[in-house]
């Protein structure tokens, strides 16, 4: 049965629903109506253009040139399928992934999976905070640990005091700045487009590349984003009882998801292209993000190095925000509640993710390797979240007539299978040298 979350409707939306009931009015979807639905996808996009991605992509481009671009393409295709499917869950049921797991699964299973998702969220927050701290170090020479405290404090204030709508606007602005920054960076380099196109569509496994491949996968297809998207998509709901409205929502949600994920694909590709055309061709090894800025300066000029650091700072702050929101969603869902930063369970999830991530940063001796490993940890947890999602969205009890078709179910299980096989390959690569 469809569940309506009245507390998520704004006063304006409440009046709109009254008009539907009294006048039989239906929302009009004009040519510009799609822009009212843009936003949730961009919040998810921030999650896979975060500092962890920067480290993974720079390592991929600097060490292997254009050869690992295919992993960004494959990861983005899988991401579009998964994010659309989990948004489908939020629209059709009014529940986020964490709530649905708690309600429809045995407690022993749901608690284990959701607890592992929280560990993944902590790993994500660690990478995002660390990236923001590295950017502050690049720009203002602030020590990494002090920068990490500043980033964490700033994000906690934003999350605990700002409404979702305000945060969404900040995130869209941050994504725009990051995208424009990389457009500027790419305008300064000479790209071998033939090799790039080949790299985008041709799978390649260079010797010793499995850790980087898995870190790229974990940096793009992130467990916490699946929980987050199923929650925030509900900010665009009109009327869960009206079939035509739900179908319109699903249509516009897919456009939002596709548009946003393609932006993420372009930015991630740009990172690898930048590293391939600067560090790989000059045989310069990048072992830390600060070093990347120092190496860019003589190659592309001081402006490029500063733009790189500024984009990293905005990326770090924006992605810490979404990581914290995802953690709040997971913990609130464990108590069968929607995300609400005014609620103690949501606040607790945010605090655990950010503060534990901050604590671990104080134990890390090599920040760049910490970023790479954190992304690899995400890819290890990912199959559990994927198979949880497929189980729920394929269930008639959960989704009713909006459950997955047999074709889409096979497609989703295929994605889960690919991720699992890549994880097995990672473990094999650790023991076979």
* Top-ranked range on mean pLDDT: pick from 181-195, 223-237, 346-360: 346-360
How high does pLDDT run on average in the chain? 78
Task: Spell out the SS3 assignment of the chain.
Answer: CCCCCHHHCCHHHHHHHHHHHHHCCCCCCCCCHHHHCCCHHHHHHHHCCCHHHHHHHHHHHHHHCCCCHHHHHHHHHHHHHHHHHHHHHHHHHCCCHHHHHHHHCCHHHHHHHHHHHHHHHHHHHHHHHHHHHHHHHHHHCCCHHHHHHHHHHHHHHHHHHCCHHHHHHHHHHHHHHHHHHHHHHHCCCCCCHHHHHHHHHCCCCCCCCHHHHHHHHHHHCCHHHHHHHHHHHHHHCCCCCCHHHHHHHHHHHHHHHHHHHHHHHHHHHHHHHHHHHHHHCCCCCCCCHHHHHHHHHHHHCHHHHHHHHHHHHHHHHHHHHHHHHHHHHHHHHHCCCCCCCCCHHHHHHHHHHHHHHHHHHCCCCCHHHHHHHHHHHHHHHHHHHHHHHHHHHCCHHHHHHHCCCHHHHHHHHHHHHHHHHHHHHHHHHHHCC
Q: How confident is the model at residue 138 (pLDDT cuts 50, 70, 90)?
A: confident
Among 47-56, 204-213, 355-364, the least confident range: 47-56
Q: How confident is the model at residue 29 (pLDDT cuts 50, 70, 90)?
A: very low
Average pLDDT over every residue of 187-194: 87
pLDDT of residue 335: 93
Count of other CB atoms within 10 angstroms of residue 3: 12
In Å, how far from its chain's centre is CA 150?
22
pLDDT of residue 2: 38
pLDDT of residue 124: 84
More confident position, 176 or 147 = 147
Task: Please give the Cα distance from 167 to 158 (Å, whole number).
Answer: 8
What tokens does 407 get? Answer: 């074709």
pLDDT of residue 17: 34
Average pLDDT over every residue of 147-169: 83
pLDDT of residue 383: 86
pLDDT of residue 20: 37
More confident position, 69 or 215 = 69
Burial, 200: exposed, middle or buried (Cβ in 10 Å; 0-12, 13-18, 19+)? middle
What tokens does 399 get? Answer: 């989704």
> Could you report the per-residue pLDDT of 364-394, keeping only the tens digit for each?
877 767 766 776 677 778 888 899 999 999 9
Unique residue bearing structure tokens 């509640």 = 337
What tokens does 67 get? Answer: 């050869």
Task: Decide if pLDDT at 239 tops 80.
Answer: no
What's the farthest any 2 CA atoms get from each other in the chain? Answer: 70
pLDDT of residue 47: 62
Please list, in sequence order, all residues whose beta carbon lies within 8 angstroms of the beta carbon of residue 19, skipping any fewer than 6 positions away.
25
Q: How confident is the model at residue 279 (pLDDT cuts 50, 70, 90)?
A: confident
pLDDT of residue 24: 40
* Top-ranked range on mean pLDDT: pick from 141-150, 216-225, 420-429: 141-150
Average pLDDT over every residue of 336-359: 92
Task: Decide if pLDDT at 293 tops 80.
Answer: no
Do residues 64 and 280 touch, judged by C-beta distance below 8 A? yes
pLDDT of residue 376: 67
Do residues 242 and 15 touch, judged by C-beta distance below 8 A? no
Q: From residue 188, how far is each of 3, 89, 181, 297, 301 by CA, in Å?
A: 52, 43, 11, 12, 9
> Could you report the per-residue pLDDT of 391-404, keeping only the tens digit for each?
999 999 999 888 99
Task: Please give the Cα distance from 249 to 91 (Å, whole number).
Answer: 7
pLDDT of residue 129: 92
Task: Decide if pLDDT at 7 tops 50.
Answer: no
Task: Decide if pLDDT at 280 tops 70.
Answer: yes
Specify the pTM.
0.77
pLDDT of residue 118: 92
Task: Decide if pLDDT at 351 tops 70.
Answer: yes
> Could you report the per-residue pLDDT of 37-59, keeping only the tens digit for each?
555 656 666 666 666 667 778 88
Task: Please give the Cα distance from 82 to 415 (Å, whole number).
Answer: 8
Unique residue bearing structure tokens 């394929």 = 394
> Could you report the per-residue pLDDT of 70-116, keeping only the tens digit for each?
988 988 898 889 988 998 898 888 888 999 999 999 998 999 999 99
What tokens does 238 get? Answer: 């009109």
What tokens does 224 get? Answer: 């916490």
In the chain, the domains with their CATH numbers are 26-431 (1.20.1740.10)
Burial, 298: exposed, middle or buried (Cβ in 10 Å; 0-12, 13-18, 19+)? exposed
Task: Please give the Cα distance from 295 to 304 (Å, whole number).
Answer: 10
CA torsion 332→336→339→344, rounded to 10°?
-50
pLDDT of residue 112: 92
């Amino acid at each position: 049965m469809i569940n309506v979350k009245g507390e998520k409707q704004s006063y304006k939306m409440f009046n709109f629903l009254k008009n539907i009931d009294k006048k039989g009015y239906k929302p009009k979807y004009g040519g510009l109506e799609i822009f009212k639905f843009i936003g949730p996808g961009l919040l998810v996009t921030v999650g896979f253009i975060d500092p962890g991605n920067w480290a993974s992509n720079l390592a991929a481009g600097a060490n292997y040139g254009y050869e690992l671009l295919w992993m960004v393409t494959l990861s983005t295709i899988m991401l579009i399928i998964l994010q659309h499917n989990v948004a489908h869950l939020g629209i059709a049921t009014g529940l986020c992934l964490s709530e649905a797991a708690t309600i429809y699964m045995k407690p022993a299973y749901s608690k284990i999976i959701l607890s592992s998702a929280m560990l993944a969220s902590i790993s994500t927050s660690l990478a995002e905070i660390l990236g923001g701290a590295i950017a502050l170090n690049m720009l203002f020479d602030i020590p990494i640990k002090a920068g990490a405290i500043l980033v964490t404090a700033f994000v906690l204030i934003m999350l605990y005091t700002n409404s979702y709508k305000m945060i969404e606007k900040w995130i869209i602005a941050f994504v725009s700045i990051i995208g424009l920054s990389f457009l500027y960076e790419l305008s300064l380099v000479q790209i071998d487009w033939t090799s790039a196109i080949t790299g985008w569509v041709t799978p390649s496994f260079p010797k010793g590349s499995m850790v980087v491949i898995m870190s790229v996968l974990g940096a793009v297809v992130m467990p916490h984003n699946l929980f987050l998207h199923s929650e925030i998509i509900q900010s665009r709901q009109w009327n869960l009882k009206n079939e035509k409205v739900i179908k319109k929502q699903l249509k516009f949600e897919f456009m939002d998801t596709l548009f946003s994920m393609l932006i993420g694909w372009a930015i991630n590709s740009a990172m690898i292209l930048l590293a391939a055309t600067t560090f790989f061709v000059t045989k310069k090894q990048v072992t830390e993000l600060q070093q990347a800025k120092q190496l860019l300066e003589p190659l592309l000029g001081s402006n490029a190095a500063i733009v790189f650091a500024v984009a990293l700072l905005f990326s770090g702050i924006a992605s810490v925000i979404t990581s914290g929101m995802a953690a709040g969603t997971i913990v609130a869902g464990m108590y069968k509640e929607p995300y609400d930063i005014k609620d103690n369970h949501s606040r607790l999830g945010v605090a655990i993710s950010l503060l534990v991530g901050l604590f671990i940063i104080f134990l890390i001796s090599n920040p760049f390797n910490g970023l790479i490993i954190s992304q690899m940890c995400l890819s290890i947890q990912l199959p559990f979240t994927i198979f949880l999602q497929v189980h729920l969205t394929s269930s008639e009890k959960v989704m009713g007539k909006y459950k997955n078709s047999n074709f889409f179910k096979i497609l989703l299980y295929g994605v889960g299978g690919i991720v699992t096989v890549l994880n097995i390959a990672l473990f094999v690569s650790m023991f076979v040298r």
